[in-house]
Structure formats: structure tokens, C-alpha cells
Structure 1
Amino acid sequence: MSNFAQKQITTKAGNKFMLQFPGVRQVTKITDRIKNKHGVASDERLAEEMLSHVVVEPKTKMEDFKDPAGFKELGELVGKAYAFITGNDDLIESDEGRESEE
């Protein structure tokens, strides 16, 4: 059993992924590494960091996502992973609940 918090998520495409919190120091390093020289987050770097350090099962690379539907799922996965490590996943879940009520 890991000492770090884990969370299983399911994308809208129906695929299940296990996320693992990599630790506070690692999260601060990730948030530094994803930024360009102007301090703006790079989508590609963010995706690489989330897939390398947060999505632990199944191990996935960006190249595993194909076509526009795959790009959409990658964005969803990366967004949920980033929200999880930054403690904002409860906000994502409450927003999803509102969408299903509409």
C-alpha cells in the first residue's frame, strides 16, 4: 500500500485511471516545470508531468491517445489529475454534478 493518497477516476469515455499524489515537494516541482519562461503553463508539459508522475495505472503516454476523441480524453484526464494534486478535485466533481442536473 502506498503512503501517498490515491484516487480512481473514470473518464467520460469509460476508461479507468488510478491517480496518486506524488508528495508536496514533487507537486511544487511539477508546477514549476510546466511553466515557460513567462510563467505560463504549457499544455504539453502539463500532460507529460501528469502522465509521468500522477497517473500510475495504467501507465500511459500522450501517444496512446488517438484522434480528436483521444485528445479530448487526454485533456479530461490531465485536468482531473492536476485538480487532484492541487486539492481542487472536489471543485471538479461538484461542477460535473451540476452538468448532469441540467
Structure 2
Amino acid sequence: MAKTFEQRTETINDTEYVFQFPGLRAANEISDRCKNQFGVVQQTKIQEELFTHVIVSPKVDWDYFEQKKPEDYAQVIKIANEVFQGPFSGK
């Protein structure tokens, strides 16, 4: 049976965003993919992974934030990072 992961829903500037923890293994694989040769996380890469694996709805990318919702960017990324850090409850 496939594991379902907890989701968190937040409304930011009248847009409802749904975030989901991708699972422990997936989170570690994402972290590994986003580090440079010195082990430093590359922000562009990690945010692209958050767009794909953590922000479930609406589907977002760089154009979404640059052209449609620039005012949401900082808050959405902050919450996506919180969710990405691991299982959560009560938020």
C-alpha cells in the first residue's frame, strides 16, 4: 500500500497553496541532488525541487512567480522549506 503524506494548506494573498512532505527517502535524495561539489545547497536547484515535489497545488514554476504572483514567492518558499524539513502535525 502506498504511503500518504500529510499535507498543509495555506492561503496567501487569496491563493490557496497545498504543500506535501515527499517522504524521508525522497527528501534525502532531493537534498543530495541539490548540493554542489562542496556540499553547499544550491538555492535554484532546491527551489525547483520544491516546485515539483512539495508544492502540490497550484503547480508553480519560476514564470508563475515572476509573471503571476511575485508577491507570494517569499512566503510560499518559506512554507515549502518548512514542510520539506520533515513530517509535521498541527500546522
Task: Give the TM-score normalised by the residue count of structure 1.
Answer: 0.70
Structure 1 residues not aligned, in runs of 5+: 94-102
Cα-to-partner distance string for 1:39-70 (whole Å, 9 max, x where unaligned): 11111111100000011111111111126x71
1:75 aligned partner: 74
CA contact 2:27–2:84 (8 Å) conserved in 1 = yes
1:99 aligned partner: none
Greater fraction of residues in helix: 1
The one of the two structures with greater contact order (alpha-carbon pairs below 8 A, sep at least 6) is: 2
Give RMSD over aligned pairs. 2.4
| 1:47 to 2:21 alignment | no
Percentage of pairs with the same residue: 29
Structure 2 residues not aligned, in runs of 5+: none
2:65 aligned partner: 65
Task: Give the TM-score normalised by the residue count of structure 2.
Answer: 0.78
